Chain A
Amino acid sequence: MNVIQETFNWLVDPQTWSTDGHNMIIRSVEHLQYSALAVTLAALLAIPAGWFMGHTRRFSGVIVGITGAARALPTLGLITLFGLLLGIGLVPPMIALVVLAIPSILAGTYSGISAINTSVIDAARAQGFTTRQLVTRVHLPLGFAMIVGGLRSAFIQVMSTAILAAYVGAGGLGRFIFLGINTQDTPMLLGASIWIMVLVVLVDALFSLGQRFATPTGVRRLHAVPATEPSAG
């Protein structure tokens, strides 16, 4: 019981959160910023690629292969590999995070676009839609929820993996865990772990809300769109 009490005390201690103490608020914002940057960079690559593959309805084997291999890829291995190859700092883990975010976004975009009924696309074409109009008025509204689902999995995976990035010297919330391990500071170790879990669950809930709003009202009435596969790291 003692440890739980101490952890609670650490979590409610103003020193934990203030700028002259552990600075947890700034570190949390930092963690979210790193994650957002990695997901944005990955999205810039994966959404156009996923759109192309989904639109042409080819390469489904490539998607299955990439998502399958990504599942078995050890995140810690990737982090340490880039850390060793490119040195300590922000850039090496960022590359690893981008690589890890790509498969979910690619798969989400691919399924979002390729799941659109072909007759809808044919109808749009018959109405004289240009490719540009097709993308902005058909693909995007109908595929958006699945794309957001892919971004959601990617963001959660990146937030988890960014913790491990502290092992190779990156900032963010992971540093409290490694500091806690190295100094045997159990309240800090447990407190930081619990706070990270809360943060991840909150972000996941926000995305789930976003996913609901990303579904056009008509489609929402027809059927609930399932989330794409979640992924831990």
Chain B
Amino acid sequence: MNWVTNNLETIISALGWHVALSVPAIVAALLCSIPLGWLAHRLPRYSGPIITGSGLLFAIPSLPLLIVLPVLTGAGMRDGSNVVIALTLYGIALLVRSVADGFNSISSETRLAATALGYSGFRRFLTVELPLAAPIILTGLRVVTASTIALCTVGAVLGIPSLGTLFTDGFQRQILAEIMTGIILTLGLAGICDALLVVLGKLLMPWQKQVA
């Protein structure tokens, strides 16, 4: 406990970096997955390759990806943007499937009724299909949030600051409390973000009695 009170500044800075890297990745993954998942739903012929491809992407180990990615993107290996891009890719890999499942779960009667009521293509998508697919997308987003926050720590071995820095620093300086602080804060941050998403889901989707 002593270590925590003496190093509050280090801890807060690591936590700040962690939030600054993982939250943009989660948001970007959501924004990219909605059109991709919608495409997988609209073009069943391509949904197989899209889903398989994203599954394969998620199998790729994070540390090698962080090393190879800069060659393709031009970002520096130790830049925060490198982690954000890698985490976004992992997020997309997980979310595309949920988004496609969400859109696939809408019955064709609902869609036909919306068309009969005069909803144009884009308005139907925005005001009918997206809200109906949202609960399943939210379930996927909660998975993505937890795994993104956990994966973000890996960047620390390359020197990218995050809560993972507490692991590498704690290991090198043999401070058990530092590693424990890192683990507890990572789990805690994931828990808080998950709770926020549940509350947000209830506010945005009041018609849902219970978000699974």
Given contacts A72-B190, A83-B171, A84-B176, A193 and B67 within 8 Å (CB-CB): yes
Stretch at the interface among B5-13, B37-45, B110-118, B181-189: B181-189
How many A-B contacts if CB must be within 8 Å? 132
Encode A60-86 as 1/0 by CB contact (under 8 A) with B: 000000001101111111111101110
Contacts A/B (CB < 8 Å), 9 sampled: A4-B71, A69-B187, A73-B183, A73-B187, A74-B183, A75-B150, A85-B176, A227-B55, A233-B151
Is B36 part of the contact surface with A, judged by Cβ < 8 Å? no
Q: Are B58 and A231 in contact (CB under 8 A)?
A: yes
**Shortest Cβ distance from residue B96 to the other chain A in the assembled complex, whole angstroms:** 12
Residue contact A232 to B60, C-beta cutoff 8 Å: yes
Q: Contacts A84-B171, A190-B67, A190-B68 hold; do A77 and B59 have CB atoms under 8 A apart? A: no
Is B56 on the interface with A (CB-CB < 8 A)? yes
Q: Is A109 at the interface (CB under 8 A from chain B)?
A: no
Interface of B is mostly: helix
Residues of B within 8 A of A145 (CB): none
Please measure, in the bound complex, the distance between the C-alpha atom of A76 and the C-alpha atom of B154, giving whole angstroms: 6
Chain B residues in 8 Å Cβ range of A85: 176
Q: Which of B24-32, B129-137, B161-169, B197-205 contacts the other chain?
A: B161-169
Please name the 9 residue pairs, one residue from A and one from B, whose CB atoms are nearest each other, closest first: A193-B64, A72-B190, A160-B61, A80-B171, A72-B146, A77-B183, A74-B153, A71-B146, A193-B67
Known A77-B179, A194-B68, A201-B59: A72·B157 in contact at CB below 8 Å: no
Is the CB of B147 closer than 8 A to any CB of chain A?
yes
| Given A77-B183, A197-B65: 7 more A-B contacts, CB < 8 Å | A72-B191, A76-B168, A80-B170, A84-B170, A164-B154, A167-B171, A204-B56
Is B104 interfacial (CB-CB < 8 Å)? no
Cβ–Cβ < 8 Å partners of B153 in chain A: 74-77
Inter-chain CA distance A189–B183, complex, in Å, is 28
* B62 with A232: CB separation less than 8 A: yes
B150 partner, pick from A72, A163, A174, beta carbons under 8 A: A72
| Shortest Cβ distance from residue A182 to the other chain B in the assembled complex, whole angstroms | 11
Q: Is the CB of A75 within 8 A of B64?
A: no
Contact of A97 with B by CB under 8 A: no
Q: Is A230 an interface residue (CB 8 A)?
A: yes
The answer to whether A232 and B63 have CB atoms under 8 Å apart is no
A201 contacts B56, C-beta separation under 8 Å: yes
Does B103 interact with chain A (Cβ within 8 Å)?
A: no
Q: B39: shortest Cβ distance to chain A, in Å?
A: 20
Given contacts A72-B147, A72-B186, A193-B68, contact A230 B179 (CB under 8 A): no
Chain A's nearest CB lies how many Å from the CB of B207?
24
Q: With A72-B149, A73-B187, A164-B157 in contact, is A80–B59 under 8 Å at CB?
A: no
Given contacts A77-B167, A81-B179, contact A68 B146 (CB under 8 A): yes
State whether B147 touches A232 (Cβ < 8 A): yes
In the complex, whether B4 has a CB less than 8 A from a CB of chain A is no
| Set of chain A residues within 8 Å of B186, measured between Cβ atoms | 72-74, 77
B176 x A232 contact (CB < 8 A):
no
Q: By the criterion CB–CB under 8 Å, are A75 and B154 in contact?
A: yes
**CB < 8 Å neighbour of B67 from A83, A189, A233:** A189
Smallest CB separation, A184 vs chain B (Å): 11
Q: Which residues of B contact A201 (CB under 8 A)?
A: 56, 59-60
